[in-house]
């Protein structure tokens, strides 16, 4: 086997030792490049999911409209939800995990660089598998939580649901691999002196998210596997006529789905916890409390899933218990909000674009959080369930929360990623368009929901009186679209005219700002030693008697380290991660198309696994990294 | 620090090896995977239609499965001895015990094939009823894990002949396979207890005597 691999590997794929161009990107195992790949891909899917949303809003702008057929409309809301959750917010979070975490904790890369590349490619191919259903006779049209028995063969005959299942299955492999990687990286690769309670909050939130992924995703894996067996192999897991209880799908789905909600919001909370102190010139208020609130949310997130199911008739005892835990989970969340406000209190606040998005996050998340507490009250939720009130709530949390937090991260770390400052003016224009557009789009949905407009309807009668607010809401979408155009313009403008960022444009607090922008391939010439929280701030400032920071004079230490640049051996790029991703995706794709595709995929995956296992992490003939500074 | 970045075992913050920690987190994930499958079986097994007028749990043959459970338990003993031999760099013993583990795993799988065959002959397939669906998917996925473990062990065995340098002085490569193997074994103990033993409590399977 080994000899065969060496033979085939030697002929087919000589190891890419120092590749450039497209091959360089395909075989890269550099966490920074993988982070960029994640970010760009997620942004493209953000546009796609936005177009799906736009089509829905255009259809709903007027009563009795027939621009979009019901079939297409159902596909739109299913794919919009699935795309935004699995292909936008999660990978955009992963983009920051990848780019920032090793820099923040003073590491040269993640613990498993090739596994990291595998996560990205598997995500990309899973996303393509999910979306390819548009071309093969209809995308999934059962809602993003695919309630049984709607997903059975009888009600969903085509292959759309199969693509949905298999796409999610492949995406799950990607998420799990990434989560394992980041747990090991954060637990094991911290710079000397960086104890867990000196870890930046963003790294803490990444760790919690990774644990949630590790524990929540297998539940979804099992649920969709059961569904797949029902559809393809004649089992009866969700078949009522065989005595099954389709409610079990809902329990499994939400036992995954509610931790998933925290998987989506905690990265944004982590980003905001990094941005606020930098632009307030104050340390984060109550670091320990913020960290433990995050941990508590991670735990309690497991005990609230049935609040998605208050109307299915679980009975008063179950409903009361889940209502109580749901209300309790607002406590750690509220604590975080108060800590963020206290961080800004008395600080010298600078309203740069990242700060605006961070403050936008807090305000919008408070609104979404408050309607969340309303849903925790089971009797009140009975009125709101499956209405536009829910749509309003979830968009305030996911759009006003996650997306705002992620944009704060994009603006905050852009100088570090590209080495250039984004235009502040364009950034502020984008923020206000985004902020106003978002509120115009989603706030009226509260009124519509209270007035009884159900979600997921393709149209409504003119006499319902819902037309005004729907038209109003659709108008907001244009502002959001415009703001995205401004953002893209800002990106292009910055690439051409952006001024150089330097190492530390924001006078920031964490280690990623202590190195050049963009960072060299090996990140740190010498791994830093950490003495306290806000490790980089400590290097720059000491505390005066009045509590104000006093700049330290830069010592000779910086000059000295330049001499030691040699002998940094980074892991070598590899073909096998992407090959394994292709293999796994073909296995999944073959189950809906043709079994021979699965078999080819299986052989490919097997070849990739064995070649990978016997390939050393660093090729013996690879050059040391000292001369490849700042190269993507 | 800078000169010290490429020996095979990196310095880590916790002192735990990266790959071993990865395996532990993976096993944590597997707990939820099997936990969900087991829950699915427990929720559904009593909702299944009767076969030959008997509760479907009557089809389970506890004595025979006890034997296969014993075989799998013994494979874990062999695995422990294999890991210990790898740590002593005793290649000969290591090969013997890795082979023994794999063979015991294969015997367990043959028991499972026999069991599945017997159930199908009795009229219980994966599509028959909820008991069949939940039973076969749970034990089937466990069997798939054992199969993967056997392939892994046999790969280690072949490696020990072709690229001995990967194992001698690197007992971790055997150790991690051992962690996986023990986990799969422990999952079976839970399945045997919950599905076979607890499932038999209060059953009356006389009359036809399946």
CA distance B2 to chain A (A): 6
The predicted structure's pLDDT at residue A261? 94
Q: DSSP letter for A550, please.
A: E
Separation CA A331–CA A322 (nearest Å): 15
Q: Do A237 and B40 touch (CB under 8 A)?
A: yes
Domain ranges of chain A: 31-520+526-564
Of B1, B22, B32, the CB nearest to A218: B32
Query: Is residue A333 annotated as a catalytic residue, yes or no?
Result: yes
Q: Using a CB cutoff of 8 Å and minimum separation of 24, what contacts does B22-28 make?
A: B22/A111, B22/A112, B22/A180, B22/A181, B22/A184, B23/B176, B23/B179, B23/B180, B24/B179, B25/A179, B25/A180, B25/A183, B25/A184, B25/A214, B26/A180, B27/B179, B27/B180, B27/B183, B28/A214, B28/A215
A3–chain B Cβ distance below 8 A for any pair: yes
Q: Please give the average pLDDT of every successive group of 10 residues along chain A, which has 632 residues.
A: 48 65 89 96 97 96 93 94 96 96 94 95 96 88 92 88 95 96 96 94 97 96 95 90 90 95 96 96 94 95 93 92 93 95 94 97 95 91 93 96 97 96 96 97 96 94 94 96 97 93 92 92 89 86 79 57 60 91 95 92 95 83 52 41
CA distance A116 to chain B (A): 13
Q: Do A242 and B1 touch (CB under 8 A)?
A: no
The predicted structure's pLDDT at residue A59? 96
The predicted structure's pLDDT at residue A397? 96
A618–chain B Cβ distance below 8 A for any pair: yes
Q: Do A235 and B126 touch (CB under 8 A)?
A: yes
What are the chain A neighbours of B40 within 8 Å (beta carbons)? Answer: 222, 226, 237, 248, 252
Q: Is residue A139 within 8 Å of A145, Cβ to Cβ?
A: no
Active-site entry in A109, A152, A230, A504: A109
Task: Locate the chain A residue with the closest alpha carbon to B134.
Answer: A237
Q: Do B2 and A252 touch (CB under 8 A)?
A: no
Q: Do B36 and A569 touch (CB under 8 A)?
A: no
Q: Do A223 and B36 touch (CB under 8 A)?
A: yes
Ramachandran angles phi, psi of A500, nearest 5°: -60, 140
Three-state SS for A163?
A: helix
Query: Is residue A628 annotated as a catalytic residue, yes or no?
Result: no
Q: Do A235 and B1 touch (CB under 8 A)?
A: no
A235–chain B Cβ distance below 8 A for any pair: yes
Q: Where are the alpha helices (DSSP H) in B45-165?
A: 62-87, 91-122, 130-162
* Residue of B14, B120, B142 whose CA lies nearest to B59: B120
Task: Locate the chain A residue with the closest alpha carbon to B44.
Answer: A244
The predicted structure's pLDDT at residue A620? 72
Q: Is residue A146 within 8 Å of A80, Cβ to Cβ?
A: no
**What is the pTM assigned to this prediction?**
0.93
The predicted structure's pLDDT at residue B84? 95
Q: Are strands A541-543 and A549-551 parallel, antiparallel or unpaired?
A: antiparallel
The predicted structure's pLDDT at residue A628? 42
What are the chain B neighbours of A243 within 8 Å (beta carbons)? Answer: 47-49, 129-130
Report the complex ipTM.
0.91
Domain ranges of chain B: 17-200
Please count the other Cβ atoms lying within 10 Å of the Cβ belonging to residue A543.
10
* Residue of A272, A266, A298, A299 whose CA lies nearest to A284: A272
Selected residue of B3, B4, B8, B18 to mutate for chain A interface (largest A Cβ count, 10 A)? B18
A234–chain B Cβ distance below 8 A for any pair: yes
Q: A31-520+526-564 falls under which CATH superfamily?
A: Cytochrome c oxidase-like, subunit I domain (1.20.210.10)
Q: Do A190 and B18 touch (CB under 8 A)?
A: no
**Is pLDDT at B3 greater than 60 in this prediction?**
no
Average pLDDT over residues B106-129: 93
What are the chain A neighbours of B48 within 8 Å (beta carbons)? Answer: 243
> What topology is assigned to B17-200 in CATH?
1.20.120
DSSP string covering B145-208, please? HHHHHHHHHHHHHHHHHH-GGGTTT-THHHHHHHHHHHHHHHHHHHHIIIIIIGGGTT---TTT
**Is pLDDT at B51 greater than 70 in this prediction?**
no
The predicted structure's pLDDT at residue A13? 52
């Amino acid at each position: 086997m080994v000899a065969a691999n060496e033979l085939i590997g030697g002929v087919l794929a000589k190891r890419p030792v120092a590749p450039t161009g497209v091959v360089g990107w395909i075989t890269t195992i550099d966490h920074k490049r993988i982070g960029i790949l994640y970010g760009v891909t997620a942004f493209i899917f953000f546009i796609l999911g936005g177009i799906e949303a736009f089509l829905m809003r255009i259809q709903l702008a007027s009563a009795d409209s027939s621009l979009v057929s019901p079939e297409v409309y159902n596909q739109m809301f299913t794919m919009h939800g699935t795309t935004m959750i699995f292909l936008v917010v999660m990978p955009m979070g992963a983009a920051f995990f990848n780019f920032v975490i090793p820099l923040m904790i003073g590491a040269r890369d993640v613990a498993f660089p090739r596994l990291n590349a595998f996560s990205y490619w598997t995500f990309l191919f899973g996303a393509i598998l999910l979306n390819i259903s548009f071309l093969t006779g209809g995308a999934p049209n059962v809602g993003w939580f695919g309630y049984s028995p709607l997903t059975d063969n009888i009600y969903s005959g085509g292959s759309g649901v199969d693509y949905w299942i298999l796409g999610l299955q492949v995406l799950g492999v990607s998420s799990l691999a990434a989560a394992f990687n980041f747990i090991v990286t954060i637990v094991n690769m911290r710079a000397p002196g960086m104890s867990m309670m000196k870890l930046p909050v963003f790294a803490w939130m990444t760790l919690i998210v990774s644990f949630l992924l590790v524990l929540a995703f297998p539940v979804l894996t099992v649920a969709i596997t059961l569904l797949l067996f029902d559809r393809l192999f004649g089992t009866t897991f969700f078949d009522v006529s065989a005595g099954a209880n389709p409610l079990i799908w809902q329990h499994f789905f939400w036992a995954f789905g509610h931790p998933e909600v925290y998987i989506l919001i905690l990265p944004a909370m982590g980003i905001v916890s990094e941005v606020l102190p930098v632009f307030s010139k104050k340390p984060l208020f109550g670091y320990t409390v913020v960290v433990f609130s995050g941990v508590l949310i991670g735990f309690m997130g497991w005990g609230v899933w049935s609040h998605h199911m208050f109307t299915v008739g679980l009975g008063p005892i179950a409903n009361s218990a889940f209502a109580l835990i749901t209300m309790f989970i607002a406590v750690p969340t509220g604590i975080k909000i108060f800590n963020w406000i206290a961080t800004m209190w008395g600080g010298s606040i600078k309203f740069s674009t990242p700060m605006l998005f961070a403050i936008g996050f807090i305000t919008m998340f408070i609104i979404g959080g408050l309607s969340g507490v309303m849903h925790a009250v089971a009797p009140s939720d009975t009125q709101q369930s499956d209405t536009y009130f829910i749509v309003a709530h979830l968009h305030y949390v996911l759009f006003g929360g996650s997306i705002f937090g992620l944009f704060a991260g994009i603006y905050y770390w852009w100088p570090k990623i590209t080495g250039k400052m984004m235009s502040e003016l364009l950034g502020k224009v984008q923020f206000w368009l985004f902020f106003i557009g978002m509120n115009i789009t989603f706030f009226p949905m509260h009124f519509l929901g209270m007035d009884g407009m159900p979600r997921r309807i393709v149209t409504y009668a003119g006499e319902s009186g819902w037309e005004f607010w729907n038209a109003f809401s659709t108008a907001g979408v244009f502002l959001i679209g415009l703001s995205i155009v401004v953002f893209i313009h800002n990106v292009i403008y910055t690439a051409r005219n952006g001024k150089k960022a330097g190492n530390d444009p924001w006078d920031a607090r964490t280690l990623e700002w202590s190195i050049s922008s963009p960072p060299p391939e090996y990140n740190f010439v010498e791994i830093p030693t950490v003495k306290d929280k806000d490790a980089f701030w400590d290097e720059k400032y000491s505390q005066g008697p009045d509590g104000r920071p006093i700049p330290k004079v830069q010592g000779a230490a910086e000059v000295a380290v330049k001499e030691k640049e040699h002998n940094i051996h980074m892991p070598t790029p590899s073909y096998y991660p992407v090959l394994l991703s292709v293999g796994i995706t073909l296995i999944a794709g073959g189950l809906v198309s043709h079994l021979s595709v699965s078999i080819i995929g299986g052989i490919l995956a097997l070849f990739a696994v064995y070649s990978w296992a016997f390939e050393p992490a660093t090729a013996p003939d690879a050059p040391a990294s000292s001369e490849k500074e700042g190269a993507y | 620090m800078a000169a010290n970045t490429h020996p095979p075992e990196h310095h880590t913050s916790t002192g735990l090896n990266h790959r071993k920690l990865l395996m532990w987190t993976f096993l944590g994930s597997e707990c939820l995977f099997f936990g969900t499958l087991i829950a699915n079986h427990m929720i559904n097994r009593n909702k299944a239609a009767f076969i030959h007028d008997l509760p479907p749990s009557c089809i389970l043959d506890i004595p025979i499965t006890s034997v296969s459970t014993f075989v799998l338990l013994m494979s874990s003993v062999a695995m422990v001895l294999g890991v210990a031999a790898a740590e002593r760099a005793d290649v000969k013993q290591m090969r013997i015990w890795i082979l023994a583990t794999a063979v015991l795993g294969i015997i367990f799988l043959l028991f499972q094939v026999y069991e599945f065959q017997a159930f199908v002959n009795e009229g219980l397939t994966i599509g028959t009823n909820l008991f069949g669906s939940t039973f076969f998917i749970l034990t089937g996925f466990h069997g798939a894990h054992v199969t993967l473990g056997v392939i892994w062990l046999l790969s280690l065995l072949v490696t020990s002949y072709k690229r001995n340098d990967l194992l001698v002085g690197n007992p971790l490569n055997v150790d991690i396979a051992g962690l996986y193997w023990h986990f799969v074994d422990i999952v079976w103990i839970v399945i045997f207890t919950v599905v076979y033993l607890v499932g038999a409590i209060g059953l009356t399977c006389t009359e036809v005597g399946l």
